[in-house]
């Protein structure tokens, strides 16, 4: 299983050593994080972002290329509620769909579950 984080997942894990140790013990580390998530997870203030930046340094931050963005657009549109689901969430699920047995850690399980239901891959959604 491969762990994928959205901004809520990054926030939930940043600075929580016990949770990180548990994920490592379960062989779910390092997680994937689409680069666009950094826009939501960070403030640009190095002091306020210290824990998140430290966590992100241990993650596999993946670029968002055109094919991934197009897949995210398809997922978002296919939910029928594209106007209420963020593009970032759609990109997170699209990235999760590129790996086998993905598990997305999120603070927004409803939207990500709707997106995952439109994906061809097996994607578990876990609320933080």
**Is the CB of residue 62 less than 8 Å from the CB of residue 95?**
yes
**Is the CB of residue 89 less than 8 Å from the CB of residue 59?**
no
pLDDT mean over 41-52: 97
Distance between CA atoms of residues 92 and 77, nearest Å? 15
pLDDT mean over 33-43: 98
Quote the pLDDT of residue 119: 96
Residue ranges of domains in the chain: 2-127
Distance between CA atoms of residues 121 and 13, nearest Å? 25
What are 53-94's pLDDT values in tens digits? 999 999 999 999 999 999 999 999 999 999 999 999 999 999
Look at the pTM and tell me if it is higher than 0.85. Answer: yes
Question: 49: Cβ–Cβ under 8 A, 6 or more apart, which residues?
Answer: 42, 43
- Res. 121: pLDDT tops 90: no
Cross-strand bridge partners of residue 32: 4, 60
Fold of 2-127: Rossmann fold (3.40.50)
């Amino acid at each position: 299983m491969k762990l994928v984080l959205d901004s809520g997942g990054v926030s939930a894990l940043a600075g929580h050593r016990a949770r990180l140790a548990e994920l490592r013990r379960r062989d779910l580390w390092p997680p994937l994080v689409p680069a666009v998530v950094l826009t939501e997870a960070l403030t640009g203030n190095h002091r306020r972002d210290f824990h998140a930046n430290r966590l992100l340094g241990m993650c596999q931050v993946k670029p968002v290329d055109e094919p991934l963005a197009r897949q995210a657009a398809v997922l978002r549109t296919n939910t029928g509620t594209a106007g209420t689901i963020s593009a970032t969430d759609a990109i997170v699920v699209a990235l999760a769909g590129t790996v086998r047995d993905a598990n997305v850690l999120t603070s927004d399980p409803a939207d990500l579950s709707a997106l995952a239901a439109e994906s061809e891959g097996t994607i578990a959604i876990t609320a933080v």
